[in-house]
Amino acid sequence: MLRWARAAELLSETGRWPQRVRQRHDEAVQINRWRVKRVVNWVNLTTPLGLLIARLGQAAVGEGERGLLVGVGYRLRFPVAPAFTVGNVIISPHDPDWLAERPRLLKHEERHTWQYLACIGLPMLPLYGLAALWSYARCGQPGLHNPFEQLAGLADGGYVKDGSAQPSRDPQD
């Protein structure tokens, strides 16, 4: 109780909560956002679809960070990508160590999970397809002018911005 009394005293003196209190609050809010996203992407059927796709591709699925599910060892040849996301499921043909060495790629894919939430789930699939076609018509690559990829971070996803080369299939970091 004394800690809260001291925190309240600091609040009244400085007009701000102590750093530790603010940090704990921010962490709790972020965790609640991840939980909400996980539930909504389950209810909007994109996470079950992602799990079905991972199963069809014989990927081993496990719990990831921040409420994500990660499928590794995906064996189907489509889509051709180092990783892709459906709902809250990140799916990759690579092994867990390969993915762990590429935190920027994982962050890119995690941003797509928020896009599924924003698109209310399944409508994201045809919208993404149209955006990929638009990008392909503009530059011959499905990702460079795709707003979903741009918002997820082109560099983090391994895309080359100048359009002179194909997107990297092996993004680093």
Distances (CA, A) of 32 to 27, 73, 129, 139, 154: 9, 30, 30, 39, 27
For residue range 133-149, list pLDDT tens digits in order.
Answer: 999 999 999 999 999 99
Q: What are the residues whose beta carbons fall under 8 Å from the beta carbon of 125, sequence distance 6 or more?
A: none
For residue range 9-35, list pLDDT tens digits in order.
Answer: 655 666 655 566 566 656 666 678 889
DSSP-derived letter for residue 85 is E
- Cα–Cα distance measured from residue 94 to residue 80, given in angstroms and rounded to the nearest whole number: 12
Q: pLDDT class for 96, splitting at 50, 70, 90?
A: very high
Q: pLDDT class for 160, splitting at 50, 70, 90?
A: confident
Residues in the chain: 173
Q: Who has greater pLDDT, 14 or 126?
A: 126
In this predicted structure, the answer to whether residue 68 has a pLDDT above a threshold of 70 is: yes
Q: What are the residues whose beta carbons fall under 8 Å from the beta carbon of 5, sequence distance 6 or more?
A: none
- Mean pLDDT score, 63-92: 94
- Cα–Cα distance measured from residue 118 to residue 14, given in angstroms and rounded to the nearest whole number: 38
- Cα–Cα distance measured from residue 35 to residue 66, given in angstroms and rounded to the nearest whole number: 8
Q: What amino acid occupies position 13? A: E
Q: What are the residues whose beta carbons fall under 8 Å from the beta carbon of 156, sequence distance 6 or more?
A: 104, 105, 107, 108, 111, 171
User: Could you identify the residue written with the tokens 């996203």?
Assistant: 37
The per-residue pLDDT for 164 is 44
Q: What amino acid occupies position 63? A: E
The per-residue pLDDT for 166 is 47
In this predicted structure, the answer to whether residue 7 has a pLDDT above a threshold of 80 is: no
pTM exceeds cut of 0.75 = yes
- Tokens describing residue 38: 């996980």
SS3 of residue 52 by DSSP: helix
- The domain spans of the chain are 25-121
